[in-house]
Amino acid sequence: MNIVIPIKQVPETSNVKMDEETGTMIREGVESIINPLDLYAIEVGIELKEEHGGKVTVITMGPQSAEKALREAIAMGCDDGILITGKEFKGSDTWATSFVLSSAIRKIGTYDLILAGERATDGDTGQVGPGIASFLNIPLSTYTSRIVEITDNTIIVERLIEDGYETLQMPLPCLLTVVKEISYPRLPTLRGKQKAKKVEIPVWSADDMDLDKSKIGLNGSPTRVVRISHPRIARGGTIVKATDEESLSRAIDKLINFLQEKNLI
Amino acid sequence: MSYREVWTIAEQCQGDIREVSYEILTRGRALADKLGVKLASVLIGYKVNKEKIEELIYRGADKVYLAEAQELENFIVENYGNVLIDLISQYKPEIIIAGATTSGRTLMPYVAVRVNAGLTADCTDLDIEEGTGNLLQTRPAIGGNILATIKTPNNRPQMATVRVKSTRPLPVDNKRTGEIIRINLKPGLIDGRVKRLGFRKTEEEAVNIQDADIIVAGGRGLKKKENFALIRDLAKRLGGVVGASRDAVDRGWISYPHQVGLSGKTVSPRLYIAVGISGSVQHLAGIKTAENIVAINIDPDAQIFKVSDFGIVGDLFDVVPAISERLSAIKGERNG
């Protein structure tokens, strides 16, 4: 079973601190990591390989430094990495990114399954996974929470949707975007880390993939960011202390008043 | 033919139209009026309730494009995508809006790459740029720390998904009239590769936190799984559902569908009560559109108090039972 996993390197934003004066993110000391939601896809890929054989290839489009993310995935147990980099890719939106990654997967050639995280924690769009499936014209399951069964040519999956779980059957090759429920990502092993250090990571440019330059980077991106603003989210509400029985009782009075005023109870 | 018309994608489930379909008509109506064009709702499904279809018109649509077939009964992206792509090539809308639901967020990117459209996810605000008529799409990014406004200057259609519950449906106006256009499906649009084998509703207590009016959420401050009973009890008394922080989910105290925040669900309830949740940026980004936020936390410096409309600094193991007790006293008075 040959599996391809497109991943993204993102800033570690889960514990990000805000500058209270300016309302901007403090970027100092912010590390670049594998998109946390991609780890679940990587774990599923490695588990499937362990059970069915084959290999797992991770690919990413980004700056040269994104190579680190590929090596981290290899340290977890993936086999190969491919780095797609070059200034011509800069400014790619989800359309152009889907185009580039799907072209790279075409160039890889034979694959049975593509696994992707539900979305990246920085851009937060969740559009690239479905975009790749659409470009490749292969079946798609988004929000996949479980692989029920997989054979040489079909897969049965469950998807987590608004009010429950839906079961889909589709032929391979197909693309799944996965949610957290699907796996518990493992940590890199020492042996994996040693392998990751040594493995050679091919670097692909637009020319290596014969890409039409009008379809990549800013040129190939239908969307443009026109404005960035920093929302202030402080609401300046009432804060009361409940340190002993009396203040607790007063706090509850005030809370009940608040809820009644707002017609919430 | 030039690109005209604003479209919204209606969603149906077993013949019933979902609320989000009406919400996005409110967005679409405002845009269509600014542009002076027609607003159409696109409805793909099978045996959809006729009265509900008319309600699309009563709540803002000028037209309904209705594509019905047995194979379209359930959302399968390949089939729905093919139908929508075909409709786009035939009628050329300039704007298409869908709810940021699991199907909206699947269908829209699938279609956008095929029709060379610009697509923006999970918008909180939509407007028309003066002079150019371009759609201005505003959305939170980078953990909700910034708001980015995005446009698609050259490609048409311009596509966007918008947050569920971020607008209310327009009131029903029975006097509104409109056209229901039944689409004859061309052969070949049904893909057939993907089969839906079944569906099971989530078994636990109602966990559709995105549609909930009241959410009581617990975090690390609860200390252990069993203490979620306090949260469940308060939620039940308030007629709400249970939410959780990522910490609580990662510790295995409660399942992932309850998770609120950027790596879980974005919610917009009328009341959000955060219990023992310190308020990481990724959590706060998920509750930003809540109408009222109440926080209960022992740490007076917890970030959650910054975004609260009402906060109690105290031990949740004292505060929550005291609230529950008071609520049952009030209920007793009303009943007595």
Per-residue pLDDT at B143:
65
Å between A198 CA and nearest CA of chain B: 33
d(CA A129, CA A6): 8
Complex-level ipTM: 0.89
Mean of pLDDT values over A127-150: 98
Model pLDDT for residues A87-112, shown as the tens digit of each residue: 999 999 999 999 999 999 999 999 99
Report the percent of chain B where pLDDT is more than 90.
Answer: 78
CATH number for the segment(s) B4-189: 3.40.50.620
In terms of CA atoms, which chain B residue is nearest residue A142?
A: B106
Closest CA to B262 of B297, B238, B288, B241: B288
A261: its two tokens: 């005023």
Q: Collapse the DSSP code of B143 into the 3-class scheme (helix H, G, I; strand E, B; otherwise coil) and give the result.
A: coil
Residue A72: pLDDT over 90: yes
Closest CA to B213 of B177, B280, B164, B159: B164
Give B260's DSSP letter. Answer: B
| Degrees to nearest 5, angle at CA A171 with A169 and A177 | 70
Per-residue CA distances from B277 to A252, B188, B265 (Å): 19, 52, 16
B4-189 and B203-335 share one fold: yes
What residues contact B250, with CB distance under 8 A and at least 6 apart?
none
d(CA A17, CA A36): 18
Round to the nearest angstrom and report the end-to-end CA distance of chain B. 68
Å between A104 CA and nearest CA of chain B: 16
Q: Which residue has the tokens 């609320």?
A: B19
Q: Cβ contact (<8 Å) for A124 and B319?
A: no
H/E stretch holding B34 reads helix B19-35
Model pLDDT for residues B243-301, shown as the tens digit of each residue: 999 999 988 899 888 999 877 888 889 999 999 999 987 798 889 878 899 999 999 99
In terms of CA atoms, which chain A residue is nearest residue B334?
A: A265
Q: Cβ contact (<8 Å) for A37 and B300?
A: no
Per-residue pLDDT at A16:
58
With beta carbons under 8 A apart, name residues in chain B contacting A238: 309-311
Model pLDDT for residues B164-219, shown as the tens digit of each residue: 877 889 999 999 999 999 999 999 999 999 999 999 987 655 568 888 899 999 99
CB nearest to B308's CB, from A99, A235, A247: A235
Which CATH fold would you assign to the domain B203-335? Rossmann fold (3.40.50)
What is the domain partition of chain B in residue ranges?
4-189, 203-335
Per-residue pLDDT at B261:
87
Q: What is the mean pLDDT of chain A?
A: 92
* Backbone CA torsion sign across A41, A44, A50, A53: negative
Model pLDDT for residues B88-114, shown as the tens digit of each residue: 999 999 999 999 999 999 999 999 999
Per-residue pLDDT at A12:
79
Q: Cβ contact (<8 Å) for B106 and A235?
A: no
Mean of pLDDT values over B33-57: 97
Which segments of B162-201 does DSSP mark as H helices, in order? none
Question: Cβ atoms within 10 A of the Cβ of B140, count?
Answer: 22
Question: Cβ atoms within 10 A of the Cβ of B330, count?
Answer: 15
Q: Cβ contact (<8 Å) for A233 and B284?
A: yes
Per-residue pLDDT at B105:
97
d(CA B82, CA A15): 41
Per-residue pLDDT at A30:
78
Question: Cβ atoms within 10 A of the Cβ of A19, count?
Answer: 11
Long-range contacts of A252-260 (CB under 8 A, 24+ apart): A252/B319, A252/B322, A252/B323, A252/B326, A254/B310, A255/B294, A255/B310, A255/B312, A255/B323, A256/B326, A256/B327, A256/B330, A258/B294, A258/B309, A258/B310, A259/B271, A259/B294
Per-residue pLDDT at A246:
94
Give B173's DSSP letter. Answer: -
